[in-house]
Amino acid sequence: MATYRKVRSAVTEKLTGSFLPLGVPTRYRVEDERNAAKERIDDSRAAAAFRVRVALPGEFGETLTARVESLRAEPQPAQAGAEDLGKMAGLKGGPGWPDPYVYVTLRRLGSAESVETGAGQALYRGEQGRLSGIYNLYESKDVVVLVADPRAKTGYERQKLPDQGPGEDTKEDEESQCRRCARPKPVETLIGAGLLSSGDVKEMLASGEHIRVVLGVSPDGNPADPNGRTNNALNYFRNNGRNYPMPWGMAKSLAVADAISSVMQISGKEPELNGAVWDTGQRGLAVSLPGGEALVTGRDHLTRGRAVDVRVERHHRSGALGFGPLGPGWSSPLFSHIRRIQADVCKV
């Protein structure tokens, strides 16, 4: 029977199989999220960052590469090791969004080095040598950070407006409305201590509820695998088929990009209620005067009914950063649904 391989979090330093992406609130009140003591609890119980650990034959080499990807559906165990899962793969976001997949470098924890003895014989290291269990364990050099809000991406400058008054935070700027958008403090601590490089932190869009890890070769090349060890490992599993299927790992994302109910607009605040619109004279095309955004409406299907019509419509707002099946800025009544808010998942 197939089992799930858990992933190891670089933040919590424990095995876990579920994560909460950046941009998703953990508590109802912003003040509670910014409380130092409660923030430490949130980081340990709802981590957004993790490393990958997987068991593989140590003879594959010191380093391999793996693909970590977001999935919209959970594959059957017999399919979970497939190199391409087709439409199960998570959707991409718009410009500036992280990709729904990253490639990480796996490093073997054991060592193949031997110690020469005076008798002319080689002895392998006991606790880390070929006969040890750790020799067949690999752990990612990189730390993967799940992101559900594009404003949580490194390099995005969130808008910060002056406070409204003494002790009052502005609620209409991106700094206040983007929840848990700062990189986890334990990750920053590792970088500050020189234990982790900034280039080894890979941000991935949480566009699906499932996270899969499988061996993979980046289309851009693998500088960490110049000898093609990963390709050799992939060929090994392909040739063995069902006798030794491709290893895989699955984890759970407690929320996805769709959980962000209303991402900030270009204007820096929520859309005006019933704001003035300039009609361009062309059907389905207008301009929102409060923010200067383009509004596009399209109807793909209409069937008249006795009481309720069946319509398939699309709406686009150029300033929206929101995520959806139709792409950035697009929405449709067809995808209207009730969201489950993961608030206070860490409440004690």
Query: pLDDT tens digit string along 149-166?
Result: 888 888 887 777 676 555
Q: Is residue 271 part of a domain?
A: no
Q: Are residues 192 and 303 in the same domain?
A: no
Q: What's the mean pLDDT in 286-296?
A: 83
Q: Are residues 12 and 160 in the same domain?
A: yes
Q: Are residues 150 and 255 in the same domain?
A: yes
Is the pLDDT score of 7 beyond 60?
A: no
Q: How confident is the model at residue 143 (pLDDT cuts 50, 70, 90)?
A: very high
Q: Is residue 340 part of a domain?
A: no
Is the pLDDT score of 348 beyond 50?
A: no
Q: Are residues 114 and 255 in the same domain?
A: yes
- Looking at the structure of the chain, the number of domains it has is 2
The predicted structure's pLDDT at residue 10: 37
Regarding predicted confidence, which is higher, 76 or 128? 76
Is the pLDDT score of 346 beyond 90?
A: no
The predicted structure's pLDDT at residue 3: 36
Q: Are residues 22 and 166 in the same domain?
A: yes
Q: Is residue 171 part of a domain?
A: yes
Q: Are residues 247 and 315 in the same domain?
A: no
Q: What is the rounded distance in angstroms from the CA atom of residue 225 to the CA atom of residue 214?
A: 16
Is the pLDDT score of 84 beyond 70?
A: yes
Regarding predicted confidence, which is higher, 202 or 122? 202
Regarding predicted confidence, which is higher, 261 or 281? 281
- β-pair type (137-140, 143-147): unpaired
Residue-number span of the structural domain to which 316 is assigned:
277-335
Q: Are residues 201 and 319 in the same domain?
A: no
Q: Is residue 288 part of a domain?
A: yes
Last residue of a domain, one of 259, 287, 311: 259
Q: Are residues 219 and 78 in the same domain?
A: yes
Last residue of a domain, one of 259, 285, 305: 259
Is the pLDDT score of 124 beyond 90?
A: no
Last residue of a domain, one of 225, 259, 293: 259
Q: Where are the beta strands (DSSP E) in the chain?
A: 7-8, 15-16, 18-19, 49-50, 53-55, 63-71, 101-108, 114-116, 122-124, 137-140, 143-147, 201-205, 210-215, 248-253, 277-279, 285-288, 293-303, 310-317, 330-331
